[in-house]
Amino acid sequence: MSLNEEQELSFILDKGLENINLVDVRSPSEYVHDHIPTAINIPLLDDKQREEVGICYKNVGPREARMLGVDLVSPKLPQFIREFLEIKQNNKMTVVYCWRGGLRSNSSAGLVRLAGMQVFVVKGGWKDYRKHVSDFLDNFPERYKFMNFYGPTGCAKTEILRELEAEGLNVLDLEKHAAHKGSSFGEVDEPEYKNVTQKNFESKIWNTFYKNGGSLFLVEGESQRIGKVSVPSKIFDRMKTGYSVVADTSLDFRISFTVENYKPDRYIEEIRVSLQRLKKYIGGTRIAELSALLDKQDYETFTRDLLVDYYDPLYFRSIPEKPDYVIKYESIKEGSEKLAELYKSCEAD
């Protein structure tokens, strides 16, 4: 392979992921577990085929495993090349990678080149990318600072942050990356939760800083654990040193927003399952009372009781004793405007 057909990861990142057709040729399960952001998956072998080749390699030998791979790939070769041709229509540089920049990516590139396409390979593959992410998180740059947004359950913190991100402010959306709302009911209406891993969570965090300029990032005041993943320690430690902003909203606003956000009329069974997880904290009798409210479709009282009796005591033990700022609001628009004003004043300091 000539040097210009193999590219270092640093070259790819400097050029900009958005300026490249990045193709992950690993199996679908490898791709879901973690991949370079913006990459699409055009697998050379599917999960079952990859397992067959691995077994052959182990039990028979590398030569036989390669021949089995050829047999498995050959029938789908026209479609494989066609998928590359479809993405190439935007005239961007096309780059492929596999686990470590070895057989699968080089074989894929060679096959696609037969169709007259210019294709490059990421040297070191996903493994080199993963090292890059780990090094970034372990040596989190000093220039990055945080503005932590705290508030009791139901005060629309996540929605406010997402609105500000849409307006161009820097936001590290941990709940989005974890596909979890950060509560005992956090999996409700989060279809991507099943696919979340610690590695792809960290990739999304890394990508937030990679694609955004500036140094001050808004972030929701969270515990280190969110669903089944954890915020990397260096980032969590930095968050604790950042500005603190506490939301002050009425209970009525919080109840209304929580019912709207969790959609109990659509996700009643998921809410019942999540409610059972609280049994060891509030007891079986209270669980039965709350379940009865669900049966009667009295979602407002159900929500009020959970907020006042369970979530609020937890919240008041976790917020800063002396926050830097407190903002009062009774709508997402009002909260967004006040938080944006604080962000811009701190960004200018």
The whole model's pTM is what? Answer: 0.91
Query: Residue 232 is part of which domain span?
Result: 140-348
Residue 249 and residue 326 in one domain: yes
Residue 97 and residue 161 in one domain: no
- 274, 187 contact by CB (below 8 A): yes
Residue 210 and residue 287 in one domain: yes
The last residue of a domain, from among 82, 106, 134: 134
Residue 22 and residue 79 in one domain: yes
In 3D, which of 312, 338, 146, 122 has the Cα closest to residue 241?
146
pLDDT (mean) for 137-160:
96
Task: Please tell me the distance from the alpha carbon of residue 172 to that of residue 231, in angstroms, as a whole number.
Answer: 11
Task: Please tell me the distance from the alpha carbon of residue 165 to that of residue 110, in angstroms, as a whole number.
Answer: 41
Q: Phi and psi at residue 212, in whole multiples of 5°?
A: -115, 135
pLDDT (mean) for 42-56:
93
The last residue of a domain, from among 94, 115, 134: 134
Give the pLDDT confidence score for residue 1 in this predicted structure: 39
The last residue of a domain, from among 92, 116, 134: 134
Give the pLDDT confidence score for residue 4 in this predicted structure: 53
Residue 153 and residue 302 in one domain: yes
Residue 105 and residue 197 in one domain: no
CATH number of the structural domain spanning residue 97: 3.40.250.10
Task: Please tell me the distance from the alpha carbon of residue 71 to that of residue 346, in angstroms, as a whole number.
Answer: 61
Q: Quick one: residue 156, left, alpha or beta (phi over 0 = left, psi -120 to 50 = alpha)?
A: left
In this structure, of 32-41, 154-163, 239-248, 318-327, the range with the lowest mean pLDDT score is 318-327
Residue 231 and residue 264 in one domain: yes
pLDDT digits (tens, 9 = 90+) for 177-231: 999 988 878 888 889 999 999 999 999 999 999 999 899 999 999 889 999 999 9
Residue 291 and residue 343 in one domain: yes
* Helix residue spans in the chain (DSSP H): 9-15, 28-33, 47-59, 62-73, 77-87, 103-113, 125-138, 157-166, 174-178, 198-211, 233-240, 251-262, 268-276, 279-282, 284-295, 299-306, 312-316, 332-348
Residue 236 and residue 311 in one domain: yes
Residue 107 and residue 170 in one domain: no
Residue 70 and residue 171 in one domain: no
What secondary structure, in 3-state letters, does 67-106 show?
A: HHHHHHHHHHHHHHHHHHHHHHHHCCEEEEECCCCCHHHH
Number of domains in the chain: 2
Give the pLDDT confidence score for residue 261 in this predicted structure: 87
